[in-house]
Amino acid sequence: MKRKLWQSILLYAAVIASCAVVLFPIYWMIVTSLQPPGSLRAYPPHFLPPDPQWQTYVNLFIETDILRWMANSAFVAVVATAISMVAAVLAGYSLSRYQTKSSENVGLFILMSKMLPATMLIIPLFGIMRSLGLMGSLWSLIFAHATAIVPFATWMLKGYFDSVPNELEQAAQVDGCTPWGALFRVILPVAAPGLAATSLYGFVLSWADYLFARTFLANNADSWTVNLGIATFKGEYQTDWNLVMAASLMAALPIMIAYLFLQRYLVGGMTAGAGK
Amino acid sequence: MAEIQIQNLNKRYGGFNALQDMSLDVKDGEFIVFVGPSGCGKSTALKILAGLEAATTGNIIIGGEDVTELAPAKRDIAMVFQNYALYPHLTVRQNIGFGLMMRGADKKEINQRVERAAQALEISDLLERRPKALSGGQRQRVALGRAIVREPRVFLMDEPLSNLDAALRVQMRAEITALQRRIGVTTIYVTHDQTEAMTMADRIVIMRKGVVQQIGSPDELFNRPANMFVAGFIGSPAMNFLRGEVRRDDGGLFIDAGGLRLPVADAAVPFVGKMVICGIRPESLELARGDGSALEITPTLVESLGTEAYVHFRLPEQQVKTAVAGEHEHPPLGNGTLIARLYDVGTSFSGGTIRLGLKPQASVHLFDPATEQAIR
Amino acid sequence: MTDLTQPRPATTPVRRSSGLFGIDLASPRHAKKLGYLLLTPAVLLILGILVYPMLLAIEISFHDVKFASLTFGASEYTLDNYIKLFTSRDFWNAIGVSARLLIVVTTISMLVGLGSALLVNQQFRGRGVARMLIALPWAIPEVVAVITWLWILDSSFGVLNWMLMQVGLIGLPVSWLNQPLPAFTAVTMVMVWKGFPFISIMILAGLQSIPEEYYQAARVDGANVWRRFIWITLPCLMPVLGVSLVLTVLWVFRDFSIINVLTGGGPIGATETLAIMTYEEAFQYFRMGYASALGVVTLIICALISAFLVKKTSHAVF
């Protein structure tokens, strides 16, 4: 369908305007982080920093524990994702190949687990983690996150495995593989984009958590994750918005980068299992 | 030694009988074809032979060894799939050598054997490509290469030609047959196409809805079908079925089928005075000579194929509706026609009636209407 | 070519092992067992950290406890928590806030999500980049988003007030966090900003799966853009819209991070949803029995919402 010129202009204008509005907060975060402290209260506000203060970031790394917080978040995210991927790959594969009759029931079960409110679970989990001696330890977070990731990840992976033909692992078995040998040597390499998308989902979910971190780790500043850390900025460093924005950018950056690299797999993944 | 014995194989899914009491003895080096419409159990039987599915009851013996409970990896078999099932993330060379690598052969030997197999199948220049860069026919050959390189005891093939276009299919049919003769490996081949079965098999196992209908050489199935299903399934166009009454007169035992007098053997004696079903192949009919008994018919359609013509006609009182079975079984057609295959007829018919007779040496197959079994 | 049938070279024979406890799980006979075995890690995690705590929470809600106990039936059972709950003004306020927030945020997010998906579904250069950028808010952690918005909403120096005054929409700077309605609006804005990308991605995928032939047939039949949207696009999107709706509603209802960091539930409970109230009762006032009762009520509402919405779009969910 040939588009008239005014329609094209309108379309591009709409797209640019939408992107601008949506991305403004991120843009503002970056700009603010580079402002000299004095011009933060400038009126009218400066939309482009006249004098970018890269020093702010250096101060950030030296004066605050942001690097430790990021390391904690990364550790938790990586380990939680790894654990949940192992469980979800096996479960998703099982649902795809072995449980054809009950997969609708399991789907229902997974939907149900998505609907459990975290605010309800956090109360008994608080008690459980205390009695296990895991309060203040990153491992309390790791297990909580891993479990939170598993249901949706299983559903996504089941969808991906469904799209790999059965004959592939049958051929591998006839060629001399055990069923799990076939899974690792043949199915997983073929489903690699699905694995990437699901891992991304897990990583984002873990990194973004605040509720569990605040409940389990509040009293142990050494194990704070990055969300917990910058949330405390709100009270303490109220006035140094440039520092706070710099910290925020650091907190968001790893996820944004991971997202930009892997987002093309994500659409497929989210809709693979009817997009749960 | 790679003889196969299938003993009383049964497969049930809940209440559904996919395979009923199948038994078969395969000699070493034989090319056996399982043929029948979809749902007949042929693929199920093959999967059980491969170890990809478990039988409900029954045994599989390969080379004297009971493999019924063994994993596929341990049965020393190779399989070619309908969709080729090539590993997309590996090159052709790695695909073919996969089985050898799994069994711990060293690299040099793998390369040697892969190259030999590639040469035999004329795909040597494709070794470094990936499956998605290959055409259907080439993928087919890679799948075959993967199977032969391991020199297994048995080849299993699950409708390998179904996804190829018609011309390629004819060519590959001949190549697979030749390959099997050269290598001499016991082969079980599954297809829904009766032409493939007839041209490739040493023996055919024809199946329907989980039950084996008949086991025999192509000749046997063609000339002595055990029941109406086999008679109608083998041969194209399909056999014509007519009702007729068995009578006796001075000339002997005969059947009157719509005016045509068909001589029959003594096996029909118990049916004197009763109706039976006669099967006459389209190529057994010719234009009647002289004034003897003949079928007077009005052609409804004449399909001319150059040297031969398919003449369609109807005999509403005599013809028997049978299920049409090809890749799928279809219920009997209400407006089905009988077909005569006439050669060298020259000019087309003006639409009037013609007279058909039975060729001198042609056989008539008799079937009991109640059981659909052949009368022998 | 007879060299294809040379005597078999000395490759190692196929390994025969006795398998796990004498069961060879690779054998077709045991395929079902293998299937169940593969499910165990996931099931263990879910039982341990989702099912067991859920049962505990229900148990705790029936006791008058300050701290969560892990034993069942340790002290006497009582319905006091639930009685207190249903007669508490704070509870009903929280329900009201949750309901209002739910409706407003979901409606706006669905509309924005639909609009943005339709927009980036068009053919234009840089489409891939636009798609990627529009969904970026999804990737930003909620706390980061809130902190950034806090700066934007700052009553003295925040850029939003400046922009609104420039455009003439307001006369004086709005104190976003100190007054009930602006605070509610602020929460809505942040939630929509964070929530619509997910909907957008899902609808986009749904749009791309609508066969082009439907539109072509409609054009041949003379349908204009609006008609095509109503009669083809929307019906085909129903499954995806249904799923997005359910997931968004559940997300808004259960969210903690955004509201907690942005307003803390204030001012004067204007943004105190059920989730916020539950957390406060548990970890600020240490009334865990009561909090668990709130949690259980939250769970029941979630279940009802899911059941209701799933039924409405039931053909679509799986």
Q: What is the pLDDT of residue B361?
A: 82
Chain C contact for B151 (CB, 8 A cutoff): yes
Mean pLDDT, each 10-residue run in order, chain C (318 residues): 42 48 76 85 87 87 75 73 87 92 94 90 83 85 91 83 82 84 92 92 86 86 84 85 87 91 84 90 87 90 83 55
Whether residue B212 is found in the same domain as residue B237: no
Contact indicator for C256, C298 with CB cutoff of 8 Å:
no
The helix-helix angle for A138-162 and A192-208 (nearest 10°) equals 150
B157 strand-pairing partners: B80, B189
Is pLDDT above 50 for B314? yes
Is pLDDT above 70 for B296? yes
Distance between CA atoms of C64 and C82, rounded to whole angstroms?
11
Q: What is the pLDDT of residue C12?
A: 38
Distance between CA atoms of B364 and B243, rounded to whole angstroms?
12
Q: Which of A165, A176, A189 is the closest to B102 by Cβ?
A: A176
User: Taking Cα atoms as reference points, which of A145, A256, A264 lies closest to residue A210?
Assistant: A145
Distance between CA atoms of B91 and B93, rounded to whole angstroms?
5
Distance between CA atoms of B231 and B374, rounded to whole angstroms?
9
Residue position matching structure tokens 């018609």: B166
Quote the tokens at residue A138: 């990153």
Q: What region, left, alpha or beta, does residue A275 occupy, with left being phi > 0 and alpha being psi -120 to 50 degrees?
A: left
Distance between CA atoms of B117 and C152, rounded to whole angstroms?
70
DSSP 8-state symbol, B319: B
Whether residue A80 is found in the same domain as residue A104: yes
Whether residue B11 is found in the same domain as residue B62: yes
Is pLDDT above 70 for B70? yes
Contact indicator for A114, C47 with CB cutoff of 8 Å:
no
Specify the number of domains making up chain B.
2
Q: Which of B79, B86, B89 is the closest to A174 by Cβ?
A: B79
List CB contacts of B269: < 8 A, sequence separation 6 or more: B253
Tell if the CB–CB gap between B102 and A177 is shorter than 8 Å. yes
User: Strand locations in chain C, DSSP E?
Assistant: none
Averaged pLDDT score across all residues of chain B = 87
Q: What is the pLDDT of residue B186?
A: 94
Q: Kindly indicate the confidence band of residue B302, based on its pLDDT and cuts at 50, 70 and 90.
A: confident
| Subunits adjacent to chain B (3 or more Cβ pairs under 8 Å) | A, C
Q: What angle do CA B268, B272, B277 make, to 5 degrees?
A: 60
Q: What is the pLDDT of residue C42?
A: 87
Whether residue B71 is found in the same domain as residue B171: yes
> What's the domain range around B307?
233-367
3-class DSSP assignment, residue B229: helix
Residue B131, Cβ density class (10 Å: 0-12 exposed, 13-18 middle, ≥19 buried): buried
Whether residue B239 is found in the same domain as residue B221: no
Chain C residues whose CB is inside 8 A of the B73 CB are: 14, 26
Distance between CA atoms of C53 and C126, rounded to whole angstroms?
48
Whether residue A84 is found in the same domain as residue A214: yes
Quote the tokens at residue C284: 């600020």
Residues of chain A with pLDDT under 70: 1-3, 100-104, 106-108, 111, 234-239, 265-276
Whether residue A250 is found in the same domain as residue A140: yes
Whether residue B123 is found in the same domain as residue B217: yes
Radius of gyration of chain C (CA): 27
Q: What is the pLDDT of residue C13?
A: 44
Has residue B373 been placed in a domain?
no
Chain C contact for B76 (CB, 8 A cutoff): yes
Tell if the CB–CB gap between A22 and C70 is shorter than 8 Å. no
Q: Kindly indicate the confidence band of residue B319, based on its pLDDT and cuts at 50, 70 and 90.
A: confident
Q: What is the pLDDT of residue C111?
A: 93
Distance between CA atoms of B112 and B144, rounded to whole angstroms?
17
Q: What is the pLDDT of residue C7?
A: 45
What amino acid occupies position C13?
P
Q: What is the pLDDT of residue B347?
A: 56
Is pLDDT above 50 for B157? yes
Tell if the CB–CB gap between A275 and C240 is shorter than 8 Å. yes
- The percentage of chain B sitting over the pLDDT mark of 70, rounded to a whole number, equals 97
Helix (H) or strand (E) holding A90: helix A66-97
Chain B contact for A174 (CB, 8 A cutoff): yes
Q: What is the pLDDT of residue A275?
A: 31
Helix (H) or strand (E) holding C307: helix C288-312
Whether residue B251 is found in the same domain as residue B138: no
Chain C residues whose CB is inside 8 A of the B120 CB are: 1, 4
B vs C, Cβ pairs < 8 A, gives 54
Contact indicator for B303, B309 with CB cutoff of 8 Å:
yes
- The percentage of chain B sitting over the pLDDT mark of 90, rounded to a whole number, equals 45
Q: What is the pLDDT of residue C3?
A: 43
Has residue B35 been placed in a domain?
yes
> What's the domain range around A204?
65-272
Whether residue B244 is found in the same domain as residue B201: no
User: Taking Cα atoms as reference points, which of C238, C253, C250, C248 lies closest to residue C312?
Assistant: C238
Q: Which of C1, C28, C29 is the closest to B182 by Cβ?
A: C1
User: What is the per-residue pLDDT across B130-141, written as a single tens digit (0 to 9) for each?
Assistant: 999 999 889 999
Contact indicator for C264, A235 with CB cutoff of 8 Å:
no
Distance between CA atoms of B295 and B260, rounded to whole angstroms?
5
DSSP 8-state symbol, C271: T
Give which of A168, A175, A186 to mutate to test B binding, by max B Cβ within 10 Å: A175
Domain C80-317 class, CATH top level: mainly alpha
User: What is the per-residue pLDDT across B158-206, written as a single tens digit (0 to 9) for each?
Assistant: 999 988 888 889 999 999 999 999 999 999 999 999 999 999 999 999 9
Chain C contact for B99 (CB, 8 A cutoff): no
Centre a 10 Å sphere on the Cβ of residue C36 and count the other Cβ atoms it contains: 12
Whether residue A105 is found in the same domain as residue A206: yes
Whether residue B63 is found in the same domain as residue B163: yes
For chain C, helix (H) and strand (E) counts, in that order, are 16, 0
3-class DSSP assignment, residue B373: strand
Contact indicator for B62, B152 with CB cutoff of 8 Å:
no
List CB contacts of A260: < 8 A, sequence separation 6 or more: C132
Whether residue A115 is found in the same domain as residue A198: yes
Contact indicator for B100, B151 with CB cutoff of 8 Å:
no
Q: Kindly indicate the confidence band of residue B10, based on its pLDDT and cuts at 50, 70 and 90.
A: very high
Whether residue B215 is found in the same domain as residue B237: no
Listed residues B187, B210, B226: the one ending a domain:
B226
Listed residues B226, B260, B289: the one ending a domain:
B226
Residue B194, Cβ density class (10 Å: 0-12 exposed, 13-18 middle, ≥19 buried): buried
Contact indicator for A155, A92 with CB cutoff of 8 Å:
yes
Q: What is the pLDDT of residue C155?
A: 77
Q: Kindly indicate the confidence band of residue B265, based on its pLDDT and cuts at 50, 70 and 90.
A: confident
Distance from CA of A169 to the nearest CA of B (A): 8
DSSP 8-state symbol, A41: G
3-class DSSP assignment, residue B29: coil
In chain B, which residue ranges form alpha helices assigned H by DSSP? 42-50, 92-102, 107-120, 136-148, 166-183, 194-200, 218-223, 228-233
Specify the number of domains making up chain A.
2
Taking the complete model, does pTM exceed 0.90, yes or no? Answer: no
Contact indicator for A191, A178 with CB cutoff of 8 Å:
no
Tell if the CB–CB gap between C256 and A210 is shorter than 8 Å. yes
Q: What is the pLDDT of residue C306?
A: 82
B135 strand-pairing partners: none
Q: Which of A15, A97, A179 is the closest to C124 by Cβ?
A: A15
Tell if the CB–CB gap between C4 and B120 is shorter than 8 Å. yes
Tell if the CB–CB gap between A189 and B89 is shorter than 8 Å. yes
Distance between CA atoms of B62 and B85, rounded to whole angstroms?
24
Q: Which residues of C269-285 are buried (b: 16+ CB within 10 A; e: fewer)?
A: bbbbbbbbbbbbbbbee
Tell if the CB–CB gap between C256 and A211 is shorter than 8 Å. yes
Q: In chain B, positions 37-66, which contact chain C (CB-CB < 8 Å)?
A: 48, 51-54
Q: Which residue of A has its CA nearest to B47?
A: A170
Whether residue A39 is found in the same domain as residue A137: no
B191 strand-pairing partners: B35
What's A226's domain CATH number? 1.10.3720.10
Quote the tokens at residue B186: 């016991």
